[in-house]
Amino acid sequence: MKKKAIITGIAGQDGQILTKILLQKNYHVLGIAKNIEKIDYLKNYGVTLLKVDVSDTPQIASLIKTYKPNEIYNFAAQSSVAKSWQYNAKLAEVNGFSVERILETIKRIERRDYKVKFYQASTSEIFDLSTGGMKNEESEIKPLSPYGAAKAYAHMITDIYRNEFNSFAVSGILFNHESSYRDLNYVTRKITHGVASIKLNLTHNLILGDLDSRRDWGYAEEYVQAIWSMMQLNSPENFVIASGKSHSVGELVEYVFKLAHIGHYDKHIHIDKNLFRKKNFSASIGDFSKASLGLNWKPKKNIFQVLEMMYKQDLKALRETRS
């Protein structure tokens, strides 16, 4: 019998990648998102798509009870750290409280029906990334933004349901992970799309924030595969998924301009200080040692290989659009 999975936030990068993985593994997939128009193509592969706000508790609970999934993957979130200072109440509702209500629905179902596995998309933003150093599953939770605080609540409530109610509830603490599924508001996609546009003389400038900002970046396809592996364990555990290395935004910019054979790239960079974070971040990196042992997982592609893939795809798409 085919397994059934519900993916909330299916329209995002990780939701689309996971859908591809699950379809390859012969799952039935029900996808939930506020904006499903851009992923209408998934219907061609047998995916059921529903336009639902994850904070609509009665509707989400009804879907879970009716669909009876084996696995639920929760990617639904307000995802902008910068914008999280502007809509704190809605952010807390979607990124935090809705997670607890999904877990409570699962708990009530399990009392009289069957077991459901739950995955929560946690993030490195639950840590104090201003301190630098390695972060692992035991690192102090000390978020620096409303986004991080809401995600920290979701992370901790997932732990509580696992420890207090024996729920199969896990959090994947994923550091930055990129692919061509990224929206243009993410810095890696801004860079690859922007440089491709400059290469084709469609634009002249690339507007960015702090070029000295450093992150631990990896390949989204590999990270999402790790998510699925977490859900196949017999006992639920949290895992950090990361590359174990950090690079500055400036390094990424320089690399993509070199790929495009554009010299004097600094002429094309415009710095917008409104895009700077409220607090400077150090070179915090993720320690994936536990995932290496528990999931037999380690990163293969580095961020520069990922950027090359993204740049080539953006260049091809822009050429096709122009022709």
Residues tagged active-site = 123, 125, 147
- Neighbouring-strand partners of residue 31: 7, 49
Mapped onto helix, strand or coil, the DSSP state of residue 21 is helix
Q: Which amino acid is it at 268?
A: H
Mapped onto helix, strand or coil, the DSSP state of residue 132 is coil
Instruction: Compute, in degrees rounded to 10, the torsion defined by CA atoms 30, 35, 36, 41.
Output: -130
- The CA distances from residue 264 to 91, 246, 254, 258, 273, in Å, are 41, 24, 10, 10, 22
Q: Where are the beta strands (DSSP E) in the chain?
A: 4-8, 28-33, 48-51, 71-74, 117-123, 134-135, 168-174, 176-178, 206-208, 214-215, 217-219, 239-241, 247-248, 269-271, 285-286
Q: Which amino acid is it at 195?
A: V
Q: How far apart are CA 159 and CA 237, in angstroms?
A: 9
Contact 115, 81 (CB under 8 A): no
